[in-house]
Structure 1
């Protein structure tokens, strides 16, 4: 069996350090439970000494999430470590994560200490944490800008003091993959007791290299990686959990490692973190972005329709994306994709109809960035044959309604043969009464799946545009109409949709 990579998720700690992000204790617990479903090995739930609220939040996560190690961050000072233990002591598997600056620039200007003082402090505080638990992680902060020989020394002494995980942080996103690989190899070569600890990597994305650096660290001995959902985190963010996990899974032939993540929970976790962090996922974000599995090029769409794997190296279903692969129709789309998409909407077009509809689609796509199903339905139905021959026409609509009256609608329609039909119906409201009366007259009973109203212009005399969608036998039909009277617009829109349904049925019957 392939060697395991442990996934350490720090969404609730480093992710929360993103400017403008603050999770409530309840939100932290909810996200942590989703991380547990995802199969994360270690959840860094927060920095308990930072605020009483974060202490409460970390303690809540430790109490309610039992399927993962719960970790709390602490500076290398006694009060931080004591508070961290107070927060995680009730966890099924608690961990204390101790860190201290190790680059010369940070030791001199932030800590105002020399190397020997930092070595002594780190060793003493790891030993202090180890009095509470055998699960202690140590991070020499800013290790990629530190003197490697100093990193070797502090790592060796902290392992002797009780650290069982050594995390090498690229705290300011400074490392280049080849350089980082050399650092990891040198740590294994120069730290004699390194075999007593699991080695980890934490990357920041200041140069956009954190995923590449994380994979390089794995190739050079790291067996734990520190990541966040959607890559949120301080400044430009952290390594994305979803990118590393799917890289290991998709290229298992190359890396040869495995992890315990249930990838079908990735998308759900992404949306939850997006919601609570208030940080929208960019459209072109790998794995979970809106466009990650959407195809706009006609060449790509043609390939996808023939075999999905021609243009997708991952199955969106494996990530839990409910809409799956999407072919987005636009100015670059081809006839093949257009035809297939229309068939999925329930339209079977003759060659002549397809030519007319495709030409109209291309004309619209040059003017409009997003062409959605409503646009396509309008285009195609405007080009269907025999529309006039099949059409019902509305001659009159009269409605009576009020807060002490039962809404009643009377309609006079003219059927496709020219006969006048009159009927009335009551409903829960005036529009419902109109639709019920129309159904009684036409004998049609489709399901109304969408009803929306918007103002066409401003002012009290503005027209209201009504859009409705109805469904019959798995096919959807759209109707639109505008009028200064919303009831009249609603009736005309419904009539339009019914006519399209009748016409489509007639065309299908004629084709046998």
Structure 2
């Protein structure tokens, strides 16, 4: 470790030392190693949770103990690198930030070895949405997050799960009737960030068997249809029947339902 840092210092003044599986390493030994590499020129100390074993409380205590034990950390940047084997990578990363870490190693879409790494988009938006508890600036242009996620998906052929936070296709989609009604009245009722904040075009009200009349009426109006109450009731019932067959109802499907109901009404009036 010492020889490696010495060699790196011959080429740059900014050298990172990374201690693999640091969170499961005996603390006294780890501190001795870190102290030595700092003495010979390491400026960033990266301490990975390589197998995703730690919990947020443990990560926080770990970094606090390390920083308190070491005498030579002035000007040193501590870094965290968390894996998601227990689904705690982002939570652990945020705990590390609150414990004094100032560099985060993370990946778009959480891509990485085994269960993946801490998700960049989740960390960035957590610090933005909860800046009251996480008062850190990332410098990330958040409006480019969704496009970056989609590009990575294309390049790797690794799809993002539908309910993935921030970038999943359902992250800003609402199907339940009560949620749709609340969103139509005030989007803040069920969304803690705006889709455009991460580059998603807009919130989607997904029409399905759990949707309410208000959502159906709103979508019909977006399609340029002004409906009587009787027409809306018939369209709503037809939409529910269709949703039972195919789960969700798109604009083309809804337009066909509208046309059918209106055609039937013309026949009745005739």
**TM superposition score normalised by structure 1:** 0.51
Matches within 5 A, 1:42-441: 122-322=1-201, 324-384=202-262, 387=266
Q: CA deviation at 1:389?
A: 9.8
Distance 1:211 1:389 in 2: 60
Corresponding position of 1:476? none
Greater share of helix: 2
Show structure 1 runs of 4+ deviating over 2 A: 385-390
Q: Secondary structure at the match of 1:367?
A: helix
Give the RMSD, CA atoms, in angstroms.
Answer: 1.5
Deviations along 1:434-477, one digit per CA (max 9) or x if unpaired, are xxxxxxxxxxxxxxxxxxxxxxxxxxxxxxxxxxxxxxxxxxxx
Q: Secondary structure at the match of 2:19?
A: strand
Distance 1:389 1:356 in 2: 14
Asked if the contact 2:163/2:169 (under 8 Å) is kept, the reply is yes
Q: Secondary structure at the match of 1:159?
A: helix
Deviations along 1:340-393, one digit per CA (max 9) or x if unpaired, are 111001111011111111111112222221211111111111111654599xxx
Aligned length: 269
Distance 2:120 2:167 in 1: 11
Distance 2:234 2:240 in 1: 10
Greater share of strand: 1
Q: CA deviation at 1:135?
A: 1.3
Q: Secondary structure at the match of 2:12?
A: coil
Distance 2:172 2:96 in 1: 28
